[in-house]
Structure 1
Amino acid sequence: MSEDDIKVISKEDYQNEESSDQKIIFDNTIFEQIKGKELDLSVEKVLEIPTLRNWFKRQKDEYYVVSQKEHIIDCKYARGKAQIPILNKRIINKEIQDIIAKTPIKYVHLGGTEILIKAYFREGIDTPIELYLADDRIIHPIEKSVISAVRGNLIYQKFTFIIIANYSVAITDRNIDKSLVLYWKMSGIELAPGSKIFTARCKNLYILSTKHKVTARNKIDKIKI
Structure 2
Amino acid sequence: MTVSNKTMERIMRQDSNLSPYDGFRIGGIGKVLNQIGLNQRKHHIIYKVSSGEFAILIEFTGNVMEMQLIPKEEILEELSRLREKIAVTMKWIHIGTIEVVIKATFKEGIDSEIHLSIMDRRINNLRDGYLGTMIGNLYAGKLMFDIHPRIAYNLADQDFSRVLTLHQDFKEKI
The CA deviation string for residues 204-225 of structure 1, in whole angstroms up to 9 with x for no partner, is xxxxxxxxxxxxxxxxxxxxxx
| Partner of residue 143 from structure 2, selected from 142, 154, 159 | 159
The one-letter amino acid paired with 1:130 is H
Matched, 1:88 2:71: yes
Q: How large is the Cα RMSD of the aligned pairs?
A: 2.0
SS in 1 for 2:139: coil
Query: 1:137-148, aligned counterparts within 5 Å?
Result: 137-139=122-124, 141-148=125-132
Q: Distance in 2 between matches of 1:118 and 1:109?
A: 28
Query: 1:23-62, aligned counterparts within 5 Å?
Result: 60-62=43-45
Given that 1:122 and 1:157 are in contact with CA atoms closer than 8 Å, whether structure 2 keeps it comes out as no
User: How many residues align structurally?
Assistant: 131
Instruction: Sort the Cα spacing of 1:181 and 1:97 in 2 relative to 1 into closer, same or farther, 3 A.
Output: same
Structure 2 gap ranges (5+): 1-41
Q: Distance in 1 between matches of 2:64 and 2:150?
A: 25
SS in 2 for 1:116: strand
The CA deviation string for residues 77-99 of structure 1, in whole angstroms up to 9 with x for no partner, is 22332011111112212211211
Given that 2:80 and 2:87 are in contact with CA atoms closer than 8 Å, whether structure 1 keeps it comes out as no
Structure 1 gap ranges (5+): 1-58, 191-225
| Partner of residue 52 from structure 2, selected from 69, 79, 84 | 69
SS in 1 for 2:51: strand
SS in 1 for 2:75: helix
Query: Which shows bigger deviation, 123-132 or 107-116?
Result: 123-132
Structure 1 runs (4+) greater than 6 angstroms displaced: none
Task: Specify the alignment match of 1:97 in structure 2.
Answer: 80
SS in 1 for 2:53: strand
Percent identity between matched residues is 26
Task: Specify the alignment match of 1:120 in structure 2.
Answer: 105
Task: Specify the alignment match of 2:119 in structure 1.
Answer: 134
Instruction: Sort the Cα spacing of 1:143 and 1:76 in 2 relative to 1 into closer, same or farther, 3 A.
Output: farther
More strand, by proportion: 1
The CA deviation string for residues 184-218 of structure 1, in whole angstroms up to 9 with x for no partner, is 1113452xxxxxxxxxxxxxxxxxxxxxxxxxxxx
Q: Distance in 1 between matches of 2:87 and 2:164?
A: 28
SS in 2 for 1:69: coil
Given that 2:68 and 2:166 are in contact with CA atoms closer than 8 Å, whether structure 1 keeps it comes out as yes
Q: Distance in 1 between matches of 2:87 and 2:119?
A: 33
Matched, 1:149 2:133: yes
Q: TM-score, normalised by structure 1?
A: 0.54
Q: TM-score, normalised by structure 2?
A: 0.68
Highest CA radius of gyration, 1 or 2? 2
The one-letter amino acid paired with 2:98 is T
Given that 2:119 and 2:129 are in contact with CA atoms closer than 8 Å, whether structure 1 keeps it comes out as yes
